[in-house]
């Protein structure tokens, strides 16, 4: 019987494929089909060693940083939500005028995966954690969501509008992929 790496948690379910997740504390979670043999899971892990090592290192680096700067408390989240209710509508008004679009209700949420969204009715949702990001990141998210008022997709036409109004969009959107991940981990660490 093939041995799995120490500390590897296997969660079996009715899924069809094997997937690996690195938890915030750096331990590996493998999600596998009910009947997947340990040998096939071990082989999948071997084939993805580089990915596992990189993501484990990232999770441990983020954990050290969170230990140094601290998790967001419930009070921190509340303060960010209050600040967002003042700041975000101003940025939405500013960019809606530049784009020549209208919008509906603005809602501030504390979300684990999304920074913003736009409904077909034009209602906008934003993550309060944006208040802990550089202001340019907030502007990038606001522009992105408002451009959905013209294009409810991520087509070339959509991005042409985004770049027309916010040429540095890629720089700040990329910030969300690293810095944003840390903000979410700080939020989740405060809930644990």
What CATH number is given to the structural domain containing 83? 3.30.2010.10
Instruction: Please state which of the ranges 59-73, 78-92, 117-131 shows the lowest mean pLDDT.
Output: 59-73
Residue 2 resides in a domain: no
Q: How many Å apart are CA 170 and CA 144, to the nearest integer?
A: 11
For residues 154 and 63, membership in a common domain is answered with: no
Contact 30, 10 (CB under 8 A): yes
For residues 115 and 151, membership in a common domain is answered with: yes
For residues 62 and 95, membership in a common domain is answered with: no
pLDDT at 23: 84
Percent of the chain with pLDDT over 90: 66
End position of a domain, from candidates 26, 52, 69:
69
Residue 1 resides in a domain: no
For residues 162 and 182, membership in a common domain is answered with: yes
- Please give the tally of structural domains in the chain: 2
Best CA proximity match to 163, nearest among 94, 119, 172, 181: 172
What's the chain's average pLDDT? 91
Whether pTM > 0.85 for this model: the answer is no
- pLDDT top residue among 142 and 8: 142
Q: How far is CA 73 from CA 45, 64, 76, 144, 192, in A?
A: 35, 17, 5, 29, 10
| DSSP conformational letter for 4 | P
Percent of the chain with pLDDT over 70: 98
End position of a domain, from candidates 29, 46, 69:
69
For residues 101 and 166, membership in a common domain is answered with: yes
HSE-CB of 94 using CA atoms within 13 angstroms:
12
Domain that holds residue 107: 74-191
Q: What's the pLDDT band for 38 if we cut at 50, 70, 90?
A: confident
């Amino acid at each position: 019987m093939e041995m799995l790496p120490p500390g590897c948690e296997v969660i079996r379910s009715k899924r069809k494929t094997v997937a690996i997740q690195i938890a915030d504390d750096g331990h590996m979670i493998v999600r596998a089909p009910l009947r997947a043999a340990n040998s096939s899971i071990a082989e999948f892990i071997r084939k993805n060693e580089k990915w596992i090592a990189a993501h484990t290192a990232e999770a441990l680096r983020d954990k050290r940083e969170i230990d140094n700067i601290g998790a967001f408390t419930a009070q921190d989240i509340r303060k960010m939500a209050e600040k967002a209710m003042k700041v975000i509508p101003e940025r939405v008004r500013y960019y809606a005028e530049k784009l020549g679009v209208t919008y509906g209700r603005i809602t501030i949420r504390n979300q684990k995966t999304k920074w913003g969204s736009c409904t077909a009715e034009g209602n906008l949702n934003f993550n309060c954690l944006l208040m802990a990001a550089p202001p340019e990141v907030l502007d990038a998210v606001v522009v992105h969501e408002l451009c959905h008022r013209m294009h409810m997709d991520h087509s070339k036409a959509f991005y042409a509008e985004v770049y027309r109004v916010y040429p540095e969009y890629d720089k700040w959107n990329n910030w969300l992929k690293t810095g944003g991940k840390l903000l979410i981990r700080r939020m989740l660490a405060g809930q644990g």
